[in-house]
A and B are shown apart, each in its own frame.
Chain A
């Protein structure tokens, strides 16, 4: 099955700086890569996703990049704000399969 590795496990950044989280996947058939944000005491929520036919996708301060050859994808958060503090999960799947394989998560802390 698919194996997704996520780094770093914790990330502390100064407010206004950028944060980058990286993930690698093992199954070359995977073609759907979502990112979920989990706030304290809540369930994860989708913040952005990318398909394998796209190399980069942006949504305001959030961007995701994908390198299919190297089988890795990254989440970039610019101009971080205190409300960006949360646990972020990457995931991978084949779009024809609803099952997601998640990374272990990254705890992001934005220092004021």
Chain B
């Protein structure tokens, strides 16, 4: 049972480069989310998806692009990376069953933009 995985786990990139963070879940959950975690800010929602081909903005979407062509994958792309996007990125998935609203988080990707 692989659950939810993220790749790469660590990434260093330069300002202006495009970088894609991958997220894959094996549960066929309908909902998927991307958060960034910064000291003093907790977890802030970047984008979320309710199903394949349905995505919507969260609290801090600027500079990010998402797609969801398949239920199990939800990649996050930084089109032109900036130093302010240095952060730890978490992907999560969720499915409403038996009244549960639990979000299951991946292990995170630590991204450094130099």
Residues of A at the B interface (CB closer than 8 Å) are 1, 4, 6, 9, 32, 34, 36, 41-46, 49, 89, 93, 95, 98-105
Contacts and interface: CB of A to CB of B under 8 A. Distances in A.
Contacts of B35: 102
A103 B58 CA distance: 16
Given A46-B103, A98-B103, 4 more contacts: A34-B101, A42-B108, A104-B41, A104-B42
Contact of B42 (A1, A6, A32, A95): A6
Interface of B: 31, 33, 35, 40-45, 48, 50, 58-59, 90, 92, 94, 96, 101-103, 105-108
A99 B59 CA distance: 10
Contacts, number: 56
A46 B102 contact: yes
Closest 6 CB pairs of A and B: A43-B105, A102-B42, A102-B43, A104-B42, A46-B102, A98-B31
A57 B103 CA distance: 19
Given A98-B50, A98-B101, A99-B58, A43 B106 contact: yes
A89 B43 contact: yes
A80 B106 CA distance: 26
30 contacts: A4-B42, A34-B102, A36-B105, A41-B107, A41-B108, A42-B107, A42-B108, A43-B90, A43-B92, A43-B107, A43-B108, A44-B90, A44-B105, A46-B103, A49-B101, A49-B102, A89-B42, A93-B101, A98-B31, A98-B33, A98-B48, A98-B94, A98-B96, A98-B101, A98-B103, A99-B48, A100-B43, A101-B59, A102-B44, A105-B42
A43 B59 CA distance: 20
B24 to A, nearest CB: 14
A73 B26 CA distance: 33
A26 to B, nearest CB: 14
B101 A32 contact: yes
* Chain A CB within 10 Å, residue with most, of B45, B50, B94: B45
Contacts of A89: 42-43
A4 B42 CA distance: 10
A34 to B, nearest CB: 7
